A and B are shown apart, each in its own frame.
Chain A
Amino acid sequence: MPDVKEKGWRNDAYAKVTGKAKYSDDLKFVNMLHAVPVYSDYVHAKLVQVHTAEAEASPGVVKVLTSRDVPGSNHFGQIIRDFRIFADDKIRYHGDVVAMVVAETRAQALQAAARVRIEAEPLPALLDAEEALRPDAILVHENHGSNIINTHHVRRGDIEKGFAVSELILERVYETQFIEHAYMEPEVSVCLPRPDGVMEVRGSMQHPFSTRRFVATCLGVPLAAVEVVGMPLGGGFGGKDDTAAIVCARTALAARLLNRPVKMAYSREWSIRESYKRHPYRVYYKMGLTRTGEIRAVQCKIIADGGAYCSVTPWVTWRSTVQCCGPYAVEHVHCDTWGVYTNNVVTGAMRGFGSPQMNFVIESIIEEAAAELGLPAIELRRRNMVRQGSVTITGQKLDNHTVSMEQVLDTVFQEIGYEKKLGCCSHGQGDGEELYGIGLAMSYRGVSLGAEGVDFCAAIINVQADGSVILDVGVHENGQGSETAMSLILAQELGIDLDVIHYKRSSTSTIPDSGTTVASRGTIMGGGAVALAARELKLKIAKLFAAELDCAPEEVRFVANQLIGKDEKKSLPFAEAIRRMFQMQQFPYALGVYRAPQVTWDEEIGQGNAYFTWVYGCQAVELTVNKTTGKVKLLNAVACHDVGKAINNTMLVGQFFGGMAMGTGYALHEDLNVVDGKISHGNLNRYHLPRALDLPEMKAVVVENYDAVSPTGAKSIGEPTNEIMAPAIANAIFHATGVRHYKLPIKITAQDSTKGGR
């Protein structure tokens, strides 16, 4: 087995570094048509008619499609069926697609798209999430009766009593912005109508099963008549679910109606305009503490702008609700959360999923509280953080895994030399041009979906007669390296070489629907299924050869491509055993299913065992703020996360760095700048993503407390690394300038940076 702990082996690396990897837009088929979307310039309008005749008469145009052409349902969604394949009754946001032009070439399609005429009656637009809650608010979906997509609550203890016994009460309001996933590859779909009647869908999406549901519903065909085939994906970060699935549905529709292969490749502008974003939050937060620093009460009101369609707003805001006090055990909690419709761009899943917003709030206010009490913020954290056996704010006792909150905090604290450096912070005073600050933040995070949904995953191991192995797993390769992680787990379990394992890029027609590869569930769920499948297969093989190896089946070990008996000297090559199995009419084949342990949830009061296990993380940054320009320069960043067990170190730390970079953008640079419902930073030249010079050298520290709930011991990492960077930076900026920021992205004025601190 290659030394993957040291080197970055991945099954797709060769193809990717040589340019041979074929992403969706790299596909070409004979007779392939090209489709492009048509938008209107309205933010909210009654759609009267779409005039397509002129566009249809344009050179090369084969057809212009609108909602009238949808044979199945034009409405779909994972929770509420409010998404439109094409706008029908109304235009609800600037990214609504009204029509689609299909032509022989992309250039012809683009030309014709400008000739589609949209007749609509503009309506006043609803652009503020809080306004959406007013009884007289403009309605985005009249049939829905109100703009409330969902509410969630936590009711714990007695909030009034909690504040009554508090000696310090802080009340603050926080706001966060719309941000873009900015996967480097925009959405693409290529659909092939097959002679067997199946619509084959390829594309840049991260949830093949959800995509299949969107496509089948739009076409009005059974799920089995659609095969979604995974392609190398140029990043997802949670952003290639609903809206990417709709791109596939429209493309499939054109392919079905015209009976030819069709490609729709999104430009970056369309991608930014139409795809869903991270929810902007407005959070009213009130915290009560005793003079000695015990948090007694938290009351919060969370309002999330869901934009024009529901997408997964109820799930995103559920996580925010469950984790509304961060990693602190609080006795009295009263939380109300709303996800609301507006005419802004749709919001949905994005790496972190409702936690980056809340962590910014909690990890900021905790430092303010500490300062008011004259306590070190670290001390305040230690006094209130969850520990082994703690009970969370939803009543869950943390006793089935190692609660390593303090361990990760201590690790970062030591690693970066926090205590000493805290003493060197400028607090707005200093002779030089640059003010210095250090800051940290920490979190705990429920793993996988929790009570959001049904959570199980399948893996198929199919060993061939020559001993080579086909592995098929229900999780999706988004670029994070899940195929590699799955292959490594299998190699480890079966004791075979990596190079005999061939990962089958999954297709919805070969593996059971295992849900989506989001919520950092790839490694724990997919890896769990692989491990269980491998264990079943080993037992099956061992039963056949145990007698020969002079031991019980349970005693047969699989190492170094051998089956080894209790007596080390008795062994049989793995490939030999497999060859003989075929002669015995036995398939070396196993289906493994990992079912997430049960969770419980009472929606009324927001109590229950929300997640089956938790991950713990802490991050710290050092930075300077320029007194004149307000420019922030990061000097250093350290992250420590308890991942349960590392499967592939190189890629694991890659998740750390990528998450920290994305969190830096969230804190300092990124903002779609939505004005009057229109995105003004609509391409990458205006939308500021972190670049190499914006980032510091980063350090990743991996903590491994094997998690017995997970068949491999591994938990998750993708999202935790992203969710605490913003508060760590906000805290460091405070220590540099003495000014506290309540809004993301943080904008520092020259005035701020010379105001001076406490």
Chain B
Amino acid sequence: MKLTVNGIQRDITRAQAEKRLIDYLREDLDLTGAKIGCEVGACGTCTVLVNDRPVKSCLKRVNEVADASILTIEGLAAQDGTLHPLQQAFIDAGAVQCGFCTPGMILVAHALLLSNPAPTRAEIRRAIHGNLCRCTGYQQIIDAVEMAASFYGKK
């Protein structure tokens, strides 16, 4: 089986296929942006996008996402390191404190904005509800998503 991760196609061995997606990403590809916070699907620090939809990678085996396209936080900025406007908005809005929830938060927000480029604050709350943040009270995360929305609208 194959998997596309951040635009690169990967061949999956039988052993890899049995792994949790989070472990495959962190251990085999050294993509450590996705974090392990609970392993029961409650915190969202392990969130990645599978075909543009947020998935808690602690809950999925690699073989459950066969042939899909995966986006991790490492794949969001441009090749030359220029930040994606959503990442920049997270910085500008002060949405980053300890940063442990940040990769997951950015990715769920990215998925939201891809499908709904003009969300209300209530819609943003609903979209990030599955991701915990202990530092920010979510207020500035929601600000950041709002700030970045105009960019998606333009596309």
Contacts and interface: CB of A to CB of B under 8 A. Distances in A.
A234 B121 CA distance: 26
Contacts of A481: 97
B36 interface: yes
A10 B136 CA distance: 15
Contact of B136 (A233, A237, A268, A658): A658
Contacts of A650: 93-94, 140
B121 to A, nearest CB: 7
B106 interface: yes
Interface in B20-57: 26, 30-43, 45
B125 A693 contact: yes
Nearest to A656: B137
B11 interface: no
- How many B residues are at the interface, by size bracket? 35 or more
B70 interface: no
Given A23-B100, A184-B132, A693-B126, A658 B38 contact: no
B81 to A, nearest CB: 8
B139 interface: yes
Contact of B39 (A18, A268, A691): A268
Interface in A1-52: 7-10, 12-23, 25-26, 28
Nearest to B88: A17
Contacts of B42: 683-685
B98 A185 contact: yes
A653 B94 contact: yes
Contacts, number: 184
The majority secondary structure among interface residues of chain B is loop
B64 interface: no
Interface in A445-478: 478
A184 B136 contact: no
Contacts of B132: 182, 184, 684, 689, 691
Interface string B88-104: 10111111111111110
Interface string B113-155: 0000000010011101111111111111110000000000000
Contact of A654 (B32, B36, B94, B134): B94
Contacts of A186: 36-37
Name the 8 nearest CB pairs between A and B, nearest first: A19-B33, A479-B98, A661-B137, A234-B100, A16-B99, A657-B137, A19-B73, A8-B94
Contacts of A18: 33, 73-74, 76-77, 81, 83, 87
Interface of B: 26, 30-43, 45, 72-74, 76-77, 81, 83, 87-88, 90-103, 106, 121, 124-126, 128-142
B35 A234 contact: yes
Given A22-B32, A479-B100, 14 more contacts: A8-B92, A13-B90, A16-B99, A183-B98, A184-B45, A653-B94, A657-B139, A661-B137, A684-B132, A685-B40, A685-B41, A691-B129, A697-B139, A698-B139
A480 interface: yes
A281 B98 CA distance: 29
Interface string A686-701: 0001111101011000
A478 B135 CA distance: 10
- How many A residues are at the interface, by size bracket? 35 or more
A235 B100 contact: yes
Interface in A563-612: none
Contact of A235 (B32, B72, B93, B98): B98
Please indicate which of the listed interface residues A7, A16, A232, A237 has the most CB atoms of chain B within 10 Å of its own CB: A16
Contacts of A268: 37-40, 43
A660 B139 CA distance: 11
A21 B99 contact: yes
Given A19-B32, A693-B126, A658 B134 contact: yes
Contacts of A10: 91, 96
28 contacts: A8-B94, A8-B96, A17-B83, A17-B88, A17-B106, A18-B33, A18-B74, A19-B34, A19-B72, A19-B74, A25-B35, A25-B36, A182-B134, A183-B98, A184-B100, A184-B135, A186-B37, A234-B99, A235-B134, A657-B139, A658-B135, A662-B137, A690-B137, A692-B125, A693-B125, A695-B137, A695-B139, A698-B137
Please indicate which of the listed interface residues A19, A683, A693 has the most CB atoms of chain B within 10 Å of its own CB: A19
Contacts of B33: 18-20
Contacts of B87: 17-18
B75 to A, nearest CB: 9
A659 B97 CA distance: 13
A13 B101 CA distance: 13
Contact of B102 (A17, A26, A685, A698): A17
A183 B34 CA distance: 16
Nearest to A272: B38
Interface of A: 7-10, 12-23, 25-26, 28, 181-186, 232-235, 237, 265, 267-268, 478-481, 650-651, 653-654, 656-662, 683-685, 689-693, 695, 697-698
B129 A692 contact: yes
A652 to B, nearest CB: 9
The majority secondary structure among interface residues of chain A is loop
Contacts of B141: 692
Please indicate which of the listed interface residues A12, A13, A235, A698 has the most CB atoms of chain B within 10 Å of its own CB: A13
B142 A237 contact: no
Contacts of A690: 137
Please indicate which of the listed interface residues A10, A18, A653 has the most CB atoms of chain B within 10 Å of its own CB: A18
Given A184-B43, A185-B37, A13 B96 contact: yes
A657 B125 CA distance: 15
A183 B81 CA distance: 29
B129 A478 contact: no
A184 B134 contact: yes
B38 A685 contact: yes
Please indicate which of the listed interface residues B42, B74, B125, B137 has the most CB atoms of chain A within 10 Å of its own CB: B137
Contacts of A654: 94, 97, 135-136, 140
A8 B144 CA distance: 11
Nearest to B33: A19
B99 A479 contact: yes
A662 B133 CA distance: 10
B148 to A, nearest CB: 11
A343 to B, nearest CB: 27
A478 B128 CA distance: 23
B45 A17 contact: no
B96 A657 contact: no
B99 A657 contact: no
A693 B96 contact: no
Please indicate which of the listed interface residues B26, B93, B94, B136 has the most CB atoms of chain A within 10 Å of its own CB: B94
Contacts of B139: 657, 695, 697-698
Please indicate which of the listed interface residues A8, A478, A651 has the most CB atoms of chain B within 10 Å of its own CB: A8
B128 A692 contact: yes
Nearest to A185: B100
Contacts of A698: 137, 139
A692 B97 contact: no
Please indicate which of the listed interface residues B41, B72, B97 has the most CB atoms of chain A within 10 Å of its own CB: B97
A381 to B, nearest CB: 26
Contact of A651 (B38, B94, B101, B103): B94
A185 B130 CA distance: 17
Contact of B142 (A181, A683, A692): A692
